[in-house]
Amino acid sequence: MRTMKAAVFLRPGKISLDEKPIPVAGPGEALIKITTTTICGTDVHILKGEFPVEAGRTIGHEPVGVIAELGAGVTGYSVGERVIVGAITPCGQCHPCLDGHQAQCGGKAAGGWRFGNTIDGAQAEYLLVPHAMSNLELIPDGLTDEQVLMCPDIMSTGFGGAERGDIRIGDVVVIFAQGPIGLCATAGAKLKGASLIIVVDSVESRLEVAKRLGADVAIDYTKTDPLSEIMRLTNGRGVDVAIEALGTQQTFESCLRALKPGGTLSSLGVYSGKLSLPLDAFAAGLGDHKIITTLCEGGKERMRRLMNVVASGRVDLEPMVTHRFKLDQIEEAYELFANQRDGVLKVAIVP
């Protein structure tokens, strides 16, 4: 049996590189040889034991690779083609998928998120892709691995915050937190036509990247009170859409307080602990507010669209790759990424 290296969750606090058998593509599946992958904030939640996965699970859900093997019934692709696969891998054929809820595939909450969660993931030399017909998307000629590395998760998620928040031309939008997801939400807000984009974080380097991606005003909340500043900038009107990109009570609540009556809170964070709705900001339920959560849109059509955005040059997320590691160095990569050392935004990991 051929084996491969894989980053495996062992127990809270411990992800290590391990040897595992290389999977074989069954009917409807494809095996891809990973050429580049990365680490996500969610992987850090898993590492810390905040999001439970079973021991022995290979982690990672952001694959760029080459088709190594096609299972029975997977047609229209060839071994050797360069592909990406979304973090979310909808089957396309269950009731929720057919109803447009592909991230909730199978009708379980977050059911479309399989990689590094309910099946083995992408931080390995090989990755078995389920529902390959719905999920393999060829990389357009001329795009590098790093150029498309953000498509499977953070670009899809961040843009999704702007899309499902239904940002319109001329809107004022605030994004709370400018980690990788928040930065992508900023880029998405610009793509959707917001005319004033306000971002809030405390890390100077992230605020700088945010400005390059479309932020008009960057607020360091350790120096300026965001809500006062937002109300000043909007003449007391509040924002049309507030995007939460961290997953804390404070950012969630700040979003709600920043909204105009009738505004939309688009939530991207993964929350833990408790979450409450302050009734003054929520207008006791009379404010015609919308609160919309978004997991991440997957599937090959989504990947096609996102790579088109990259190819068009509309958005350049490659500068978000601040560090590069070999798969052998993955524990070191986690150490850096989990502790947000050295101005890290995203790491590229190459088997």
Task: Confirm or reject binding of residue 250 to a copy of itself (CB under 8 A).
Answer: no
Q: For a copy of itself, which residue of 53, 119, 291, 338 counts as binding (CB under 8 A)?
A: 291
Nearest residue (CB) to a copy of itself, 85 versus 94: 94
Considering CB under 8 A, how many residues would be counted as binding a copy of itself? 88
Task: Confirm or reject binding of residue 115 to a copy of itself (CB under 8 A).
Answer: no
Question: Among 17-25, 105-113, 141-149, 225-233, which window interacts with a copy of itself (CB under 8 A)?
Answer: 105-113
Instruction: Say what the alpha-carbon torsion angle 285, 289, 295, 297 is, to the nearest 10 degrees.
Output: 150
Task: Confirm or reject binding of residue 138 to a copy of itself (CB under 8 A).
Answer: no
Binding string to a copy of itself for residues 299 to 338, with x set by CB under 8 A, is what? Answer: xxxx-xxx-xx-xx-x------------------------
Nearest residue (CB) to a copy of itself, 49 versus 343: 49
Three-state SS letters, 96-116: HHHCCCHHHHHHCCCCCECEC
Q: Of 208-227, which residues contact a copy of itself (CB under 8 A)?
A: 216
CB of 91: closest distance to a copy of itself in angstroms? 8
Tokens of 109: 């909450």
Binding string to a copy of itself for residues 7 to 46, with x set by CB under 8 A, is what? Answer: --------------------xx------------------
Q: For a copy of itself, which residue of 48, 56, 99, 326 counts as binding (CB under 8 A)?
A: 99
| Long-range contact set of residues 299-304: C-beta below 8 Å, sequence gap at least 24 | 299/86, 299/88, 299/89, 299/90, 299/92, 299/102, 299/134, 299/135, 300/85, 300/86, 300/134, 300/135, 300/136, 300/137, 302/86, 302/156, 303/84, 303/85, 303/86, 303/137, 303/151, 303/152, 303/156, 304/137
Question: Among 17-25, 201-209, 292-300, 326-334, which window interacts with a copy of itself (CB under 8 A)?
Answer: 292-300
What's the Cα-to-Cα distance from 173 to each of 165, 170, 229, 240, 306, rounded to whole Å? 10, 9, 13, 6, 22
Distance, in Å, from the CA atom of 188 to the CA atom of 304, rounded to the nearest integer, reads 16
Nearest residue (CB) to a copy of itself, 43 versus 171: 171
What is the radius of gyration, based on Cα positions, of the chain?
A: 20
Q: Of 154-213, which residues contact a copy of itself (CB under 8 A)?
A: 159, 163, 168-172, 188, 190-193, 195-196
Task: Confirm or reject binding of residue 80 to a copy of itself (CB under 8 A).
Answer: no
**CB-CB neighbours of 336 under 10 Å:** 18
